[in-house]
Structure 1
């Protein structure tokens, strides 16, 4: 989505805005947001996304709180359209402008989860829950994600060991050996491994 990358290019023209022009632009941006919300409610997410993009462009630079909301709204469209990477990027921008914006942080956590960035998701959920104990979504994720992260790490470890075994077999084959000749034993105290040769 090229338009999303053009947001900042538009801001250079803002240096020359008079207070009246800035006020006019803010009115226009809020009107675009309102129309975007109407489309969003009707599940017309692409149309809503375009309107939020325009709102971001019209919004004067000093209106950080409003601009943050426009980014978070566009992130919601990305989420609905399963464009999670752009959703994360828009939430990043929303949080740069308004670091305590919990809705943007929660939305980013959900997008992180969808792209399997579970550790990042958990961190965002924790911050949301620390600031809002009534957020059941964040609370549920804090209870659920640590086990999912553990499973993910185990899976990665198994994949890595599998790849190392394949590499080992390739090296040992000319000597009539395979990795099956070497037994890996974990020391329960240190957690380290020792290798024993067996014929």
Structure 2
């Protein structure tokens, strides 16, 4: 309880910095607050309280107004947390999400993804963390990150009320995201093939050959046959 109290004081300090747009100071305060809490021992149970606005990128000011809605399908199969462990998990999740909010403001999207992933380990249905991670993965704009954004948006659709404005916005985002994933997949596949071709040419050159001597032909079964 003493650690939670110290952590809460530091988080409040971080919130004051955040509201004043002192992102680095807020980040330092949130990290200090997180450092006061016990480390996660195992995969925890999701915390469930009230719904929050998924478009609200402000940090959480209190652990009493939390993160998500819905019920966990395997909750009965997991060992329940004690009241103190649940409070620590909730505080840890909020702090990691707040760290992610600071990185959003700093434009460091890889760090946003990392921080929000930590938050989601304590609460897999934390709406703000899912939203921030999805948006930052979109900004990273790789095949992997865009696919991860799709997964997070689909998770949000399963959590948020079906007819809410947030759900409708996410559905529109998913429609726009699908062709971006396909473009990124083709681009990165082509880049990978070019790199493999370069490696192949460096090896085959020792035998007076190159990859141009080989042709890959689809075999109709999802694979390729090689013609010389």
TM over 0.5: yes
Aligned equivalent of 1:81: 106
Aligned equivalent of 2:182: 150
CA RMSD of aligned residues (A): 3.0
Aligned equivalent of 1:128: 156
Aligned equivalent of 1:52: 30
Aligned partner (choices 105, 119, 123) of residue 98 of structure 1: 123
Aligned partner (choices 18, 22, 43) of residue 21 of structure 2: 43
| Offset, 1:80 | 1.8
| Equivalent residue pairs, number | 174
Aligned equivalent of 2:79: none
Aligned partner (choices 216, 221, 225) of residue 190 of structure 1: 221
| Offset, 1:76 | 0.7
Contact 1:186–1:193 (8 Å) recurs in 2: yes
Q: Which range moved further: 47-56 or 171-180?
A: 171-180
SS in 2 for 1:43: coil
Deviation by residue 1:119-166 (Cα, 9 ceiling, x = unmatched): 222111110122114325533332222322222221222223323443
Aligned equivalent of 2:134: 109
Q: TM-score, normalised by structure 2?
A: 0.61
Q: Which range moved further: 114-123 or 137-146?
A: 137-146
Aligned partner (choices 138, 144, 147) of residue 119 of structure 1: 147
In structure 2, runs of 5+ residues without a counterpart are 39-83
Pair 1:193–1:107, CA change in 2 (3 A): same
| Offset, 1:45 | 0.6
Return the alpha-carbon distance in structure 2 between the equivalents of residues 70 and 159 of structure 1.
Answer: 38
Deviation by residue 1:78-117 (Cα, 9 ceiling, x = unmatched): 2222333332232222222222211112112223333332
Aligned equivalent of 1:71: 96
In structure 1, runs of 5+ residues without a counterpart are 1-16
Return the alpha-carbon distance in structure 2 between the equivalents of residues 176 and 58 of structure 1.
Answer: 64
Pair 1:137–1:73, CA change in 2 (3 A): farther
